[in-house]
Amino acid sequence: MNIDFKKSNLNDKGFDSVYENLSSLLPYVHNLLVNKKGKGNNFLGWIDLPLHIQKLLKDINETATYIQKKCEILVVIGIGGSYLGTKAVIESLSHHFNSLQNYRKYPLILFAGQTMSEDYISDLLEILNEKEYALAVISKSGTTTEPAIAFRILKNHIESKYGKAEAKNRIVTITDKEKGALKTLSVQEGYKTYVVPDDVGGRYSVLTSVGLLPIAVAGIDIVKLVNGACLMRNDVLQENENNIAWKYAAIRNALLQNGKSIELMVNYSPSLNSFSEWWKQLYGESEGKNGKGLFPAAVSNTTDLHSLGQYIQDGARLMFETTLHVEMSKSNISIPYDKENTDDLNYLCEKTLTYINHQAEKGTQVAHLSGDVPQITISIEKLDEENIGKLIYFFEFACGLSGYLLGINPFDQPGVEAYKKNMFRLLGKD
Amino acid sequence: MNIDFKKSNLNDKGFDSVYENLSSLLPYVHNLLVNKKGKGNNFLGWIDLPLHIQKLLKDINETATYIQKKCEILVVIGIGGSYLGTKAVIESLSHHFNSLQNYRKYPLILFAGQTMSEDYISDLLEILNEKEYALAVISKSGTTTEPAIAFRILKNHIESKYGKAEAKNRIVTITDKEKGALKTLSVQEGYKTYVVPDDVGGRYSVLTSVGLLPIAVAGIDIVKLVNGACLMRNDVLQENENNIAWKYAAIRNALLQNGKSIELMVNYSPSLNSFSEWWKQLYGESEGKNGKGLFPAAVSNTTDLHSLGQYIQDGARLMFETTLHVEMSKSNISIPYDKENTDDLNYLCEKTLTYINHQAEKGTQVAHLSGDVPQITISIEKLDEENIGKLIYFFEFACGLSGYLLGINPFDQPGVEAYKKNMFRLLGKD
């Protein structure tokens, strides 16, 4: 994995000196993070966790095998960090049309508790009437409104479909180690239960049981995934200026200080769209406070070159782009020869789609650079467990550094309470 | 359908006078648009088109019935406006888990030509090996790279699966009325062909055959959809200050002039996510030029209240929100009583999910308003054909007004060419 940066030719005045200033702070903020001396230091469990979960991985894989044998569908009930990381990893590593395969090897993962749309839940129940399923319920407290509501409805459904005794075999909970409504219920009912660590926040939880259980059920190798994170941990713990997390943190903060207000996460593969959603929570929720922070948005190309492309090229000069470059594809499809050549594409004969996609990516970066959109590129070899594990750890670690550079606590989310307070009042909760 | 606006309490200094100025310009820009006197006036066919397509709708419905009888899947090959509008309408009006229903009444609509991901196309071909399918190929010229490549590959596939003769019965093209590579091929091969009107741009084309054919195949009533557009046309052609398109155009431009740079399209139903993507192209591509325009982004709540919610509440003060409020849901699910009440949710007993979702929406708007995020709300009665048709025409018409208020040509997209030029050079095209 590596990182490349091209600053804009048009508007790079302030960049170099700002970048140098920020770079000189990196040894300091690295120390804050690694030695747990900064704000939010009670939420740094994720830094070392991947090193110490071999036993947990084995246990999770056993539960996953049990669910795989029993079910066609696992419904994951969770919101925020209990939803986005799981979805990101599964979609980046799965068949694009998973739900349409005639012979699926592993259960489909569907989600609930991430929306209160009545039609969504109604449609979900209709599907669950017809299919064998299990539930994974994820909530630290058990009282976050959306997942709690979804679980109450689905608990009713699964108990009336299978009976209370069998339902217990089909419910796994992931919650606090000792307290809270979901923990209490889990003990009462005797559900298989995993622990949400106290020192890992929601948006950093994908490599805990929160993400790993459903990811394993989907047939993804969680040992390799966590191993990727361990490999990246070795890299980004190095205190030197070649550290790619240092570079990413410094570049994006320098661009912010130099007048950019939006960071666009760019992919060239639709399977990475949910990864961008995970990244948006990680950076938006970590940094969007005290009136600060880059606004995180995402595009998927070349699809969005025919949508937001015009704006990025030529609209208000608000953004820079961070492209996730993937070197190799899994499959092999080349442009076939056509003797009529009505579509004038024979010049691409025998070129692979990935080759063409890469040229589109290069061409786009040159075009956007000339339109004053600076370009960060983060490259990985391919979409597999190890590389996704690396990417996750990289973005998590860089987010901690970046938040400290910005001068905020990257591990809290006080602003999330505001809507809840109003909602509870409107709902007449005491 | 109606529109409501609440300006922020914290930072409304300049707003009122800017809004008045812009409002006073509306009769003028309305006249530019309706009487085709402004920039881009050769692309205004969409204004009257819904009134005059009864014959076309009948023809499309016949073709749709033919495809429905023959196929489990229709692959729509298209990008930009030939992709986003279709996806938006189908997802807003379909079952959330369409692909998982045991007994599906209508074909599934899948997409190609909107991405050059090799793995995506490879996975698609794998599915098409197993299923009965047809192709709808949408391209004005036939030489837009992404759909042209996808069609070359899929033409090969469908001809080797069904033989050349039967393949012809399974390919419908939507292209220029007389010229271009796809038109030439369509005549040669004798494909059933529909016309992309000369005077309707891609992002305005969802209510032409471009969107209507695949939407009809998906089982959606296109007569009602177009009728919704006609009803809205009556409303927004009225020259007076109660015109909701006038209001939307003036408010968003006033907020832009008053310092906001991002417009967030907000929904509370995941089935509207693709509608937001369509809106992003419509406004981003229409207005993002000459260094101007609001940056269009989207969130889906309450999902994203646990992601970007923190940023919106408390990060850099860049945005205002436009919420699509939907009054009624199709289904009926209430919170069941639980005598244990471990989750403490009995206070919500017998409340519907939609009621709770609406309280979350209200609570969010109050919270964000107090965080200096002005709130536009566009309300519709329910998600059905007529209301979606209304919404489409409303946003299209308001976009024309809004672009003229901004002082740009809302109907061109010169910036989209930049990446193509570079890509062709890199691919060695003459």
3 state SS of A414: helix
Q: What is the ipTM of this complex?
A: 0.97
Token pair listed for B413: 């997209």
Task: Give Dmax over CA atoms of chain A in angstroms.
Answer: 75
The answer to whether B157 touches B128, Cβ cutoff 8 Å, is yes
- Cβ neighbors of A138 (< 8 A, separation 6 or more) are A76, A77, A78, A82, A147, A173, A174, A175, A196, A210
- Give the model confidence (pLDDT) of B140-170 as tens digits: 988 899 999 999 999 999 999 999 999 999 9
Using an 8 Å CB-CB cutoff, list chain A residues near B298.
none
With pLDDT > 90 as the criterion, what percentage of chain B qualifies?
A: 96
Q: Which helix (H) or strand (E) holds B322?
A: strand B319-328
pLDDT, tens digit, for every residue of B282-319?
999 999 999 999 999 999 999 999 999 999 999 999 99
Give contacts of B351 with chain A, Cβ < 8 Å: 427
Which amino acid, residue B203? R
Nearest CA in chain B to A127: B101
Say whether B270 and A120 touch across the interface (CB within 8 A). yes
**DSSP H helices in A258-384:** 273-287, 309-314, 353-370
B324 contacts B275 by C-beta, under 8 angstroms: yes
- Distances from the Cα of A331 to the Cαs of A98, A377, B155, B172, B296, in angstroms? 16, 23, 19, 28, 34
Q: In CATH terms, are B2-38+241-408 and B46-220 the same topology? A: yes
If you search the block for the tokens 């024309």, which residue do you land on?
B400
- List, in sequence order, every residue forming a beta bridge with B300; answer none if it has no partner: B267
* B295 → closest Cβ in A120, A315, A359: A315
Asked if the Cβ–Cβ distance from B268 to A117 is below 8 Å, we say yes
Say how far apart CA B284 and CA B406 lie, in whole Å: 13
Structure tokens at A406: 């910005």
Note the pLDDT of residue A103: 82
Q: How many other C-beta atoms can be found within 10 angstroms of the C-beta atom of residue B232? A: 25
Q: Are strands B73-77 and B108-112 parallel, antiparallel or unpaired?
A: parallel
Q: Is the pLDDT of residue B11 over 70?
A: no
Q: Please, which residues 292-311 of chain A have a Cβ atom closer than 8 Å to chain B?
A: 292-297, 300, 302-303, 305-311
Would you place residue B276 in the very low, low, confident or very high pLDDT band (cuts 50, 70, 90)? Answer: very high
Strand order in the sheet with B2-6: B2-6, B375-382, B319-328, B262-267, B295-300
Cα–Cα dist A57/A212, whole Å = 8
Q: How many separate helices (H) and strands (E) can be counted in chain A? A: 15, 10
Cα distances from B29 to residues B39, B249, B408, in angstroms, run 11, 10, 12
Closest residue by Cα to residue B145 from A324, A272, A335, A330: A335
Q: Residue B210 — pLDDT band, cuts 50, 70, 90?
A: very high
In the CATH scheme, what is the code of domain A2-38+241-408?
3.40.50.10490
Which among B99, B116, B271 is the nearest to A99, CB-wise? B99
pLDDT attached to residue A102 = 82
**In sequence order, which residues have a C-beta less than 8 Å from that of residue A229 and are 6 or more positions away?**
A50, A207, A389, A390, A392, A393
| Residues in contact with B378: Cβ distance below 8 Å, sequence separation at least 6, in sequence order | B1, B2, B3, B244, B248, B322, B323, B324, B325, B391, B394
Say if the Cβ atoms of A307 and B119 lie within 8 Å: no
* Distance separating alpha carbons of residues B6 and B373, to the nearest angstrom: 9
Chain segment B325-353, per-residue pLDDT in tens: 999 999 999 999 999 999 999 999 999 99
SS3 content of chain B, % helix, strand, coil (to 5): 55, 15, 30
Task: Name A207's bridge partners.
Answer: none
- Active site amino acids of B: 285, 306, 420
Please compute the mean of the pLDDT values over residues B393-400 and round it to a whole number.
Answer: 98
| CATH 3.30.365.10 holds for A46-220 | no
Of A181, A335, A354, the CB nearest to B149: A335
- Which carries the bigger pLDDT value, residue B430 or residue A67? A67
Contact criterion met (CB below 8 Å) for B400 and B33: yes
Q: pLDDT at position B102, please?
A: 82
Helical (H) or strand (E) element with B377: strand B375-382
Q: Is B188's Cβ below 8 Å from some Cβ in A?
A: yes
Ordered by start, the domain boundaries in chain A are 2-38+241-408, 46-220
> B271: nearest CA in chain A?
A120
| A201/chain B closest Cα distance in angstroms | 12
* CB < 8 Å to A277, chain B: 307
Is B127 within 8 Å of A101 when comparing Cβ atoms? yes
pLDDT at A69 (0 to 100): 97
B251 pLDDT above the threshold of 70: yes
**Residue A242, exposed/middle/buried by CB under 10 A (0-12, 13-18, 19+)?**
exposed
CA–CA distance, A253 with A406 (Å, rounded to integer): 7
Which amino acid type is present at position B163? G
Q: Which of B31, B15, B30, B81 is nearest to B284 (CA)?
A: B81
What mean pLDDT do residues B366-392 have? 97
Q: Looking at the complex, does the CB of residue A289 fall below 8 Å from at least one CB of chain B? A: yes
CB pairs below 8 Å between A and B: how many?
A: 447
Taking residues B121-127, report their average pLDDT.
Answer: 98
Residue B12 has pLDDT above 70, yes or no: no
Instruction: Please give the angle made by the CA atoms of A156, B329 and B244, to the nearest 5 degrees.
Output: 155
Contacts of A370 in chain B (CB under 8 A): 418
DSSP β-bridge partners for residue B173: B137, B193
DSSP-assigned letter for residue A83: T
- Residues B373-382 have a mean pLDDT of 98
* DSSP-derived pairing of the beta strands A192-195 and A133-138: unpaired
Query: Which pLDDT does position B14 carry in this prediction?
Result: 84
pLDDT tens across the length of chain A (430 residues):
999 999 986 666 789 999 999 999 999 999 999 999 999 999 999 999 999 999 999 999 999 999 999 999 999 999 999 999 999 999 999 999 999 988 889 999 999 999 999 999 999 999 999 999 999 999 998 889 999 999 999 999 999 999 999 999 999 999 999 999 999 999 999 999 999 999 999 999 999 999 999 999 999 999 999 999 999 999 999 999 999 999 999 999 999 999 999 999 999 999 999 999 999 999 999 999 999 999 999 999 999 999 999 999 999 999 999 999 999 999 999 999 999 999 999 999 999 999 999 999 999 999 999 999 999 999 999 999 999 999 999 999 999 999 999 999 999 999 999 999 999 999 999 7
**Furthest-apart CA atoms within chain B: distance in Å:** 75
User: Two tokens at A176?
Assistant: 């606090």
Residue A10: predicted pLDDT: 62
The whole-number pLDDT of residue A101 equals 87
Burial (CB count within 10 angstroms: exposed 0-12, middle 13-18, buried 19+), residue B146: buried
* Amino acid at residue number B166: E
- Substitution target in B87, B139, B302 with the highest count of A β-carbons within 10 Å is B302
Quick one: pLDDT band at residue B10, thresholds 50, 70, 90? low
**Interface residue A32 vs chain B (CB under 8 A):** no
**In terms of pTM, does the model score above 0.95?**
yes
